[in-house]
Structure 1
Amino acid sequence: MLYWIIGYDITDSRRLQRVHRVVLRYAIPLELSVFLLAGHEIDKQRCMEEISSLIDPDTDDLRCYPLPARGLQERIGKATLPAGIHWSGLPSGQNSI
Structure 2
Amino acid sequence: MALNTPRGWLITYDITNPKRLMRLHRFLVRQATPVQYSVFHFAGSPAQMGRLMADIATRIDPATDDVRGYQLPEHLSIDTLGRGSLPGETFLLSPTSPTLQTLLQAAGK
Decide: shared fold, TM above 0.5: yes
Question: Structure 1 runs of 4+ off > 6 angstroms?
Answer: none
1:70 is aligned to 75
Q: Percent identity?
A: 39
TM-score by length of 2: 0.71
Instruction: Please state whether the residue corresponding to 1:69 is helix, strand or coil.
Output: coil
Instruction: Please state whether the residue corresponding to 2:19 is helix, strand or coil.
Output: helix
TM-score by length of 1: 0.79
Q: How many correspondences in the alignment?
A: 89
1:94 is aligned to none
Contact 2:13 2:66 in 1 (8 A): yes
Note the aligned Cα RMSD (angstroms): 1.8
Q: Distance in 2 between matches of 1:50 and 1:88?
A: 23
Q: Distance in 2 between matches of 1:88 and 1:58?
A: 32
Q: What letter corresponds to residue 63 of structure 1 in structure 2?
A: R
Which of 1 and 2 has greater Rg? 2
Contact 2:34 2:86 in 1 (8 A): no
Unmatched runs of 5 consecutive residues or more in structure 1: 91-97
Contact 1:28 1:37 in 2 (8 A): yes
- Looking at secondary structure, tell me which structure has more helix per residue: 2
1:56 paired to 2:69: no
